[in-house]
Amino acid sequence: MPTQTVLPRWRGFNLLEMFSRDRDGAWREDDFRWIADWGFDFVRLPMCYRLWIEDDDPLKPHEPMLDRIDLAVSLADTYGLHVCLNLHHAPGYCVNGARGEPFDLWKDQAALDAFCFHWELLARRYRGIGSDKMSFNLVNEPRAPSEDGMTRADHERVIRTAVAAIRAIDPGRLIIADGVSWGNTACPELADLGIAQSCRAYVPSPLSHYKANWVKSEGWPAPVWPGLVDGEKTWDRPALEEHYQQWAGLAADGVGVHCGEGGAFHHTPHGVVLRWLRDVLEILTAYGIGLALWQFRGPFGILDSRRSDVAYADWHGHALDRELLDLLREF
């Protein structure tokens, strides 16, 4: 069985304080401390670039919000956590819809120029921090390739251009590209680049995103595991193993692989989540692939998830899903 050995098998969480335009970058030091105290070693920061520009000008940085990234980087360093910076909302693209974007990252040169501008900005800012402590995850969850949308050639061109821009400033920076089709499909065409790739733990989506209002979840039956039926496919442990074999294939070719996001929304029955996630974690661990839960606190997380079927423990005034935490700590 091919095992990923290029990257550490990072285990941790996504922190969302700069996730969208309505966030303020108010990181909580306790989050970093607790993550480290519980034995994890990784935080991913999915961020919206519009938080650090002025006057809606993608080439006009706003220093006070960049300082907020500095704070998160410093807190990660203080608590011995690898920090992965990610553009969740990049110039010209966001998986949740690029509202207000005047251009398309996959088609327009101006968008690609702005995308590279921001990665060059971050590359200069953090050039002195080693790749053992920091990585750059270029763009969150590129869409499914199609002839009338983003083609695989479009995606490859954007990734190769951004990698070259970063390396011109910081040649040793560890760079990670999400798979296409929202992180679910590996990109062997990028294997020669010397970058890592990131998968997802959201399959099957009728389990992970049951009753989520930002996806087309109407009519999905209450999820079960194993044996969830999605269209003509029945999902169980062997189906999961088949899905992740593509990422093992990358590992066999010497490509570093990490699972940058995974988890299930709080309407999925808790017992289903625990059984499914155990299978996911066993499969990924066998391949040497670590996972960062989406998210630390909130509907997918271990704190304050507001599930109706969990006996929460009190954790400094927060509702802790101890069973989910214990499962993650096993791996």
* 170: in domain: yes
* 5: in domain: no
According to DSSP, residue 223 is labeled P
CA distances from 305 to 294, 310, 315 (A): 11, 9, 13
Which range marks the domain in which residue 279 is found?
11-204+236-330
Per-residue model confidence as pLDDT tens digits over 42-78 = 999 999 999 999 999 999 999 999 999 999 999 999 9
Domains contained in the chain, number: 1
Measured in degrees and rounded to the nearest 5, phi and psi for residue 146 equal -155, 160
* 16: in domain: yes
Residue 218 is predicted with a pLDDT of: 84
* 285: in domain: yes
Q: Parallel, antiparallel, or unpaired for β 11-14 and 42-48? A: parallel
Residue 137 is predicted with a pLDDT of: 98
**Which amino acid belongs to residue 308?**
S
Helix-strand-coil percent breakdown of the chain, rounded to 5? Answer: 35, 20, 45
SS3 label, residue 145: coil
* 40: in domain: yes
Residue 7 is predicted with a pLDDT of: 97
Residue 98 is predicted with a pLDDT of: 77
pLDDT along the chain (331 residues), means of 10: 90 98 95 98 98 96 97 98 98 90 97 98 97 98 96 98 98 98 98 97 98 89 96 96 96 95 98 98 97 98 98 98 98 97
* 152: in domain: yes
Per-residue model confidence as pLDDT tens digits over 208-259 = 999 999 998 888 999 999 999 999 999 999 999 999 999 999 998 999 999 9
Residue 209 is predicted with a pLDDT of: 97
* 1: in domain: no
Which of 215, 87, 93, 98 shows the shortest CA–CA distance to 154? 93
Task: Say whether pTM exceeds 0.85.
Answer: yes
Look up the CATH number of the domain holding residue 24: 3.20.20.80
